[in-house]
Structure 1
């Protein structure tokens, strides 16, 4: 997130979530596909979550910290934290390594397959999953009883996986979505900018009102995905994470039918089902739709790309349950200095160091105590500050709405089937069954 490439990870204004375009960015697609590749290559690798021989349990020795696209922009910050750690724990040395954004999952794959993972690795939950399943990551909950009271619940649970006992990452930095609304479009089309939708049901209701008043304008511009199924109470995966089960619930088909009806009634642009769909944030910037989602700083991009939006944007909390985007630090179970690696990951993610980092870049700390920091919790009356405060508050209840087991190939196929159902070319039930069969085949193979 920090730095140009990193910012695409968590601060991008269009994500593959219940409120996004429904299409991942190329970068996100590569990461998800890379995670699947990791799983395939590691299948034959040795597993077992045991400490490397020679680890004394003392915080001493040399450990390597690998970050992801944070240098050179944040080199001074990283060097400062490493130096502070070495001063706190005499006899330790921290080696800093940073990998480029592109090809990161492939790099991690190569390191794991050659048993050369760094001691502490910057991993999002989806890339950590196959490594955790095959014993390459340390279960940090065995050695740290303070996790639950230190970190935001949703962020910590992102590193708990179905079918695997343990916690496989210290949450590092977070982001979530807030909702953005075009004030003028709402007012002109019979809607109240001071009473914007709070739920998906209210969104559909107001979309109908807008269409009746302004047939050529739109409030909605997206189709549903796995995260929407979660919000609808659909069980997406079985208990051990080995099979998708969403097609077994009538609620999933009912949800697609609801979107299909809205689409066929003209409540959203026809382009949402096309391969050249621009995404809801782009359409919002072009003032073709009145609603989008984005991170707490997205408003700056909207206004930069379309100055007419300045002073014309209303911000509100994300509909229903807010989504959670997580980056973390995992510890290699093969480290020669497990205790030192765990201490470093914990030190990097303590409240003081996270708050310093979050003041440098548009992210949020994963530590619960940081939520009271005035920088994140004080509203100075500007729309920008309100967005930041709303996002900070949302982290208390934000959840990972789409399972990390669902890689890009799976969600792309599901997306295609949902589009067919919304066009009326197949039934919602049949689309879900077809997608589930394909996704379970991919899951079993990877």
Structure 2
């Protein structure tokens, strides 16, 4: 079976694989991998396993993970009698098949009906994301984040198989295993990747991984973590005509928000990391939701606000939570009402621990060399202010680098688009990186 990467990516984008709805997309990928000659594996998110993981709530049950199927395909290459030995290195090419919801009214076409076209100019909004006038593009929810990346991983694995057959890659004596993973639930914590990291679904170990997130084909070796925390304030209601009799929560919330913004600035200056100097706000704090009051003519006496707080590589979620709790305590200490009616500040949803891999890891060197082999510039490793499934593999002792086509500026955005030529270059670069990684184990290379 020939692999049509365009058709694969477009068909995968047709699945509205939002949280809990990944199974149909996983079935499609599994069938395609099987037809292409991969040995396939599948697993479901395990609530009992994840409940003990620090990133996930401890009250997960089967209903929380229903429909969250992940799949993988393995190519066994070379080795004695054509079958890799137990000590053959294995590299995983990982991508997630889940997507965030799309608001059709904000799109110029159906988000789950892929559109091929030619982009020209800029987005026409304040993001000013440039696009190559001559580039063919794919527009759909998940086109950049990251179903085209999954397609590039499949194509890269097949290219490695072809190169091995042609003798173009100097394999280790024991052979090589190339794994393509299509996992569920990355957007809300990494259900599929965390399960695969904690309970290996293969009869062999993974020695390294490339996660094909949209990095603009730059190797990302550090990912930021995040604390998700919910603030609840209590005041006292009163008629708007006698508002002085109430205790308004809104000024108190503003005091907390201002204190957190000041701490964000302080942390940006004090928490230094060599890979994050290019970001104007390296450890962002965002209050994403606020709900307050019950009636326009009543002093608001309740408020709930949800924060996403950045965690730097080298920090822990616990440490950052403690810093923001201490700053909240300072606000409370300055307000007599809050001292008598202290707010709550509790975690909710999924927490993201930061992750970092050393720049001298073989998989990082292979990624950089693969870019050059693909005719692209050598790119210095960098960091990202978002989290990714790489953290689960790094925590499991699997060195992992992010490298994939597309831009994070397109992720979660209306009319999400990727330049197809970049997907083709990503496929070539990832395949070359796998070849370089394999050769780092080969006797003829190691002896040099």
Of structures 1 and 2, the one with the larger relative CO (CA 8 A, separation 6+) is 1
TM-score normalised according to structure 2 size: 0.26
TM-score normalised according to structure 1 size: 0.26
Decide which structure has the larger Cα Rg and report it: 2
Per residue, is there more strand in 1 or in 2? 2
